[in-house]
Structure 1
């Protein structure tokens, strides 16, 4: 029996509100180190492992720079719906990631926004509306948005399935671009050889 292909995706979580550690880590019991956890998913016919790096609230990550961001397949931006400051800092986190990761196509690189802690006080302390968050997403190439509660396990699985699907779709698109470039280069090279041979034959 043939083994199904397994894909490893590196996911960077940025923001003023911690998400993966604490409740999320306890829930999935998948801690591999102090810095990241993994989550196993099945997307269509592929087995996917998300390697989730949650830097939120950990100042020591700020000095890691390019080496930390390199190789990321998706960036998850997180804010606390009850803290306006965490929402206001999203632009800075977004720009910081693009600066450090330097993706091939910044406009199409997979981002996802999570509005966390929607369970707090029954929503009575909420200060960032869903509309405000969606408007922000629209200004960033319509990135997907989920309202979540890591504590109550609300939308957690849906969010990470979306993360995996978005990253896989981008991976396929990049592969197709690379294949198209190689194919185009080979066509141009072959055309040059035929033309060169034809001209050379006339001189004989």
Structure 2
């Protein structure tokens, strides 16, 4: 595991930052590392090396007047790295599932990645926030996954949003991570509404809430 440099957005002082663990999952070579680097450093390279195990970057982002420190985990998609990546699923607040619009197999494997995450993250709430990213939307001539197919998959999964992204052109990248924060905020608010008699400070223990329901069957 390697730790890359941390970058932040400079801004006026706000309240203390909330820490969120965001994990990127999907097949190898779909662009997870490129998406993370584009979001955090606003840089793109055609010559990035494959991720071995896991790597992470941090970035501060302001959404709705609140400051969030995102710890973004990039995981290796190859099967031989499964034992290295799965221990890092625990404690995730949001999961970004990534596939390539130019690779049908990566789309067909989404269900596998979703189930692997639920099992190893010990998440048992079918409203857990997911954001689905169809990357490489700039490669229109080699696209093999239609929007209709993606919409059908999303319709079977509660609490999932979909964005078509291009790390190369920086299309919808920041928007997708902002959506991840907003999905988490809604998940947290809904959890509090389901159990309003929390501690006096009204903080929600999401780890306990996640274990209340059965896993999503989609």
Q: 2:109 aligns with which of 84, 89, 92?
A: 89
- Name the counterpart of 1:19: 31
Q: 1:5 aligns with which of 16, 26, 32?
A: 16
1:134-153 alignment, distance < 5 Å: 134-141=151-158, 143-153=160-170
**Cα distance change on mapping 1:178 and 1:60 into 2, 3 Å:** farther
Q: Is the 8 A contact 1:19 1:54 kept in 2?
A: no
Which protein has the bigger helix share? 1
Rg bigger for which structure? 1
**Residue 85 of structure 1: how far off its partner (Å):** 0.4
| Runs of at least 5 residues in structure 2 that lack an aligned partner in the other structure | 1-12, 43-53, 201-218
| Higher mean C-alpha displacement, 64-73 vs 139-148 | 64-73
Q: Could you list the per-position Cα deviations for residues 42-62 of structure 1 after superposition, in whole angstroms to 9, with x for gaps in the alignment?
A: 111210111111114355641
Q: Is the 8 A contact 1:24 1:151 kept in 2?
A: no
CA RMSD of aligned residues (A): 2.6
Q: Is the 8 A contact 2:25 2:32 kept in 1?
A: no
TM-score of the two chains, using structure 1 as the length reference: 0.76
TM-score of the two chains, using structure 2 as the length reference: 0.72
**Residue 168 of structure 1: how far off its partner (Å):** 1.9
| Runs of at least 5 residues in structure 1 that lack an aligned partner in the other structure | 184-204
